[in-house]
Amino acid sequence: MKIVHAVHGYPPELIGGTELYVARLCRELLGAGHEVSVFAGSVEWRKHFELEPFEQDGITGLRVHRDDLYFDRWDKGYNPLVAGAFRDFLEERRPDLVHVHHWIRLTTNLVAEAARAGVPAVVTTHDLYASCPRVFRLKGERGDEWCDQPMGTAVCRDCVPRWKFQRDEEIEGSLTSYLEDMRAELSLARARVAPSRGLAERLQRELDLGPEAFHVLPHGSLSDHFAGRPRPGRDGRIHLVYWSHLHPIKGAHLLLSAVAESGRADRFHVHLYGEPSGPAYRERLLRLAAPIEVTFHGAFRPADLAGATMDVAVIPTLASESYSFLLDEAVMLGVPILAADFGALAERATPRLLTFRRNDAAHLGERLRSIAERPQLLEQMRAALPPRLVRFEEHVRALAEVYALALKAGPPAAVPSDETARLRDQWRRREVGFQELVRSEHWEAVVAELRNRIEELEDELRRR
């Protein structure tokens, strides 16, 4: 087959879980004799819209550099230049199948463009983007409160990021477009894949896709094994290890708070692998680390963990994980695991994995106190059945069956018209132009002040 993969980023520029998964999938498909190409987004802004060809491991593709600022924002999803470039890419490659992995940094009509080109598409939902403009369904001042409400203008209007000069009507219009785009993309896809049952059920319910809308296929481990095993602590302390981006969503702060609340902080040594997401979060972690023993290891490679001192792997994420490659790594390292009882982590739990309530430092503290006071508990967990590891080759075989179903179904019979996209193009161009004007002239605060003053005058006129 000739297969085109569309994804929001691709190594070596971006090396998150989804990007690494797509790169591994492309290599496996190439090795199986398929012709594979990639249409990838980028975080690198360019003064002019630019398409950068690349070749890596025998895989060719285009990396898209957008020229509009803040293109990671939820309301900058649709982009006519990206849509046109994707249309041209499909015309040039003439694939048998398109596999869409994400829309962010690209455009929210990738499946529609494939349909118009007469190419069936498969969509893998790697997260909750299709049902949440903020991606992770986390809200609140610190972005740690779980949202369980259906996506809609009334629910999302006051939650999504907005510029000071944007009124509710504009936000509601953008939200309506967002929801329409996501429903259309998943409806037009000839097959939909989710890496966990919970993610599939949530998206199915949120977007009204009907029963059994998704094929649930666990991703499969990106690494087959580690070159060695970590060393247990020999200093009388229990060594707790966290590795990931040091980002609030990943919950490193929760682990530090839990150790302090456990009442047995003297029994633990915390190891944090990863770089902080910004100065503010770095300072927050340093404050929490002050009264306990913590080692900040900084940037790391997964291979570094094989030689680390580690008694327990801790996964304190606040998000609803769709699969968790990190859990795969913890299983391969052979250590007991503490993880939040949410999303795919809870689905994959076995006696090797002890769960705690998501975003609950006190409950995690209780789990830590149990481990400190009951040494046999760690031994029992270490000897227990671990979460199942799916080999990547197994995942690819299952995905090939989904590809076959999509090819058999063929492209959608009813293809959406370009008219909506053309009108939306005009609206987006106006909005982008206005936003850039405000930003470049530093008018945002001025516009907000004028808006407030106009509203005050309007109120005064009504009172008269």
389, HSE (Cβ side, Cα atoms, 13 Å): 20
Confidence of residue 170 (pLDDT cuts 50, 70, 90): confident
The correct CATH number of 238-389 out of 3.40.50.300, 3.40.50.2000, 3.40.50.10140, 3.90.45.10 is 3.40.50.2000
Q: Is the confidence at residue 419, as pLDDT, over 60? A: no
Output the average pLDDT for the chain: 90
- pLDDT class of 158 with cuts at 50, 70, 90: very high
What's phi and psi for 361, nearest 5 deg?
-65, -35
The reported pLDDT for the residue numbered 418 is: 63
pLDDT at residue 144, as a whole number? 84
Residue 194 has pLDDT above 90, yes or no: yes
Assess whether pLDDT exceeds 60 at residue 429. no
Q: What is the mean pLDDT of residues 169-182?
A: 88
- What's the pLDDT at 38? 98
What HEC string does 367-382 produce? HHHHHHHCHHHHHHHH
Q: What average pLDDT does this structure show over 400-415? A: 92
CA 395 remoteness from chain centre: 20
When pLDDT is cut at 50, 70 and 90, the band that residue 333 belongs to is: very high
Reported as type and span, the H/E element at residue 431 is helix 419-440
Q: How does pLDDT run across 93-127, given as a tens digit for each residue?
A: 999 999 999 999 999 999 999 999 999 999 999 99
Mean pLDDT of 225-250: 91
Distance CA 386, CA 23 (A): 27
Q: Pinpoint the alpha helices (H) of 94-140.
A: 110-116
Q: Is the pLDDT of residue 431 over 70?
A: no
Question: How sure is the predictor about 428, in pLDDT bands with cuts at 50, 70 and 90?
Answer: low
| 143 vs 361, more confident | 361
State mean pLDDT over 388-405.
Answer: 95
What share of the chain in percent tops pLDDT 90?
Answer: 68
Nearest to 255 by CA among 287, 289, 222: 289
Q: With bands split at pLDDT 50, 70 and 90, how would you rate the model's confidence at 198?
A: very high
Could you tell me the pLDDT band of residue 241, with boundaries at 50, 70 and 90? very high
The residue-averaged pLDDT of 417-423 equals 57
Average of pLDDT values for 440-451?
Answer: 67
Task: Read off the pLDDT band of 413 (50, 70, 90).
Answer: confident
The domains of the chain are located at: 2-220+395-415, 238-389
Please provide the size of the chain in residues: 464
Instruction: Say yes or no to pLDDT of 149 above 60.
Output: yes
pLDDT at 464 over 90: no
- Beta pairing class for 138-139 and 145-146: antiparallel
Residue 312: pLDDT above 90?
Answer: yes
Q: Supply the CATH classification number for the domain 2-220+395-415.
A: 3.40.50.2000
CA–CA dist 219, 204 (Å, integer): 19
Pick the range with the lowest mean pLDDT from 22-36, 163-177, 189-203: 163-177
Average pLDDT over residues 71-92: 92
pLDDT beyond 70 at 425? no
Question: Which DSSP state fits 271?
Answer: E
Residue 45 has pLDDT above 60, yes or no: yes
Q: Do domains 2-220+395-415 and 238-389 have the same CATH topology?
A: yes
Lowest mean pLDDT among 83-92, 115-124, 219-228, 388-397: 219-228
Q: How far is the C-alpha of 53 from the C-alpha of 123, rounded, in Å?
A: 24
